[in-house]
Structure 1
């Protein structure tokens, strides 16, 4: 492909070329921060990046994707990329070139250079969100990406990472989102105390996912279901249909005492088997879906 998204005659073939090395540097955080760019690898991530790019262009906003590099075999399997890349600087590349650019051992035939997509906290909260996932001191890129993907699937309005959390533009984190990074707003570098205060000022409740919490998530869901069936005349510890920010903590230590103290309730996901606990991604998925289900309202007759 060339700069208009149409096929070019000769692919990029030298894995040691300056252009290739320049793209490969985005696997490192210093280059990402300096340039405000990151890598999206694989058909799913690049497809979603290009879809967001085209939606923004149609809306008269700056695009997201700066360059796309793809193998001929990838374009044969996914012919939609030619149309999606319209107006984007896009190039054919050999497998050796793509391997030199990508962070993975076995690249999937397509790589995109994208501009940062994170937004400000005020932009998210001013939009009146009903469900937000907050990652506090989450350090593993795979876990962060998994939670972002789960939040997207649950219909959450945003994901917020505290200042001490992993760089969501880490290639492993981007891959773990499976394209969800391009679906919902992401805030980086938030101060958790300021965040909680801002959520409360906008009428949002704050729940902390805590394995030792006194509020059992299953019981909380049962209380909410009974209250809805009774026509909202019953009681529950916390109305899950309310606008809510869920706090999720570090993989090893969980939420700190200071972070837990900020929440309205500490909520435990019950473990019925012999496992000591759930991992971060699984626990976050269960919690977010509990809120999402309640926010959908009672089932239709």
Structure 2
């Protein structure tokens, strides 16, 4: 029987039912598996060896995304053709994009992230899955070495979080840790300064860029989207840094603040340490 003649799996199929359980956090925790929805997420997941365990696809998506199908075949990943109802039962979006992958957990021990590079992001008690996913995406775009989700932060394998990363979940290491204060101490012991993003901070972000503070190995500490960082946690940081607001906006949301801070550090860390005089200038101008 050719694949075209093979019966499609339905929402009543045992394999589909098993995968559908991964929409629940308890099932994800028990199996250490999660769902990645859409071609972008599935394509990026396949770049991580051994990450993808199984792919469910409707016929149209299988035809449209032959590159994904080929990558799955090279890794001997099971490819299951399903009907529209089965795919819809696995997807969380209103208009599913035809592909859902079952993937293994990707998180690593916190020490692996703490020593992984000069720019890190720490999300402390970040509860909104969209915000957490966007911070991971911003960290990836800024060239950060990893992200730590601490305290009671949202599950990074929540479907909305995975979608908000737009594939960045598969690009950089993620660590989970319950004790944020302990993570801050470990970062500082490793020679990484901790900068708390705080609207009431004593140090202005622009000044931190100008005085060289941002050029040092840095972990940015971001707090809960509703109440920010607790005072006792912010006090553990090397500096509390505020983003200057030049207009009349009351504040910036978490994801926007994270993008501004991470890119400010990325720019400072990539800037030449010593900037020479302008070409042709032989000395001070004046009498």
Q: TM-score, normalised by structure 1?
A: 0.86
How many angstroms does 1:220 deviate by?
Answer: 2.2
Query: If you compute each CA radius of gyration, which structure gives the higher value, 1 or 2?
Result: 2
d(CA) in 2 for partners of 1:14 and 1:45?
23
Q: Residue in 2 aligned with 1:22?
A: 18
Alpha-carbon contact 1:131-1:292 (below 8 Å) kept: yes
Residues 234-249 of structure 1: pairs in structure 2 closer than 5 A: 236=211, 239-249=213-223
Provide the residue aligned with 1:226 in structure 2.
Answer: none
Determine whether 1:182 maps to 2:170.
yes
Segments of 5+ residues of structure 2 without an aligned counterpart are 280-287
Question: Which of 223, 246, 258 is the matching residue for 1:284?
Answer: 258
Q: Does 2:64 correspond to 1:77? A: yes
- Report the counterpart of residue 97 of structure 2 in structure 1: 108
Change (3 A) 1:244 1:21: same
| Contact 1:157-1:184 at 8 Å conserved across structures | yes
Checking the alignment, whether the CA contact within 8 Å between 1:131 and 1:156 is kept in structure 2 is: yes
Q: Is the 8 A contact 2:9 2:16 kept in 1?
A: no
Aligned pairs for 1:91-106 (under 5 A) are 91-106=80-95
Q: How does 1:80-229 map to 2 (within 5 A)?
A: 80-86=67-73, 87-127=76-116, 129-221=117-209, 223=210
**Using the alignment, how far apart are the partners of 1:31 and 1:16 within structure 2?**
18
**Distance change (3 Å), C-alpha of 1:288 and 1:7:** farther
Residue by residue, what CA displacement relative to the aligned partner does 1:24-74 show, whole Å, maximum 9, x if unpaired?
A: 111110110111100000011010001112xxxxxxxxx111100112211
The CA deviation at 1:104 is 1.8
Q: Give how far 1:7 is off.
A: 5.2
How many pairs are equivalent? 272
Conservation of the 8 A alpha-carbon contact between 1:11 and 1:91: no
Corresponding residue number in structure 2 for 1:58: none
Q: Which residue, 230, 237, 250 being the options, matches 2:224? A: 250
Normalised TM-score (structure 2): 0.90
Return the match for 1:39 from 35, 38, 52.
35
**1:237-257 CA-partner distances (Å, limit 9, x unpaired):** x52111101000000000001
Partner of 1:233: none
> Per the alignment, in what secondary structure is the counterpart of residue 114 of structure 1?
strand
Contact 1:45-1:179 at 8 Å conserved across structures? yes
CA contact (8 A) 1:142 1:176 kept: yes
1:66 correspondence with 2:53: yes
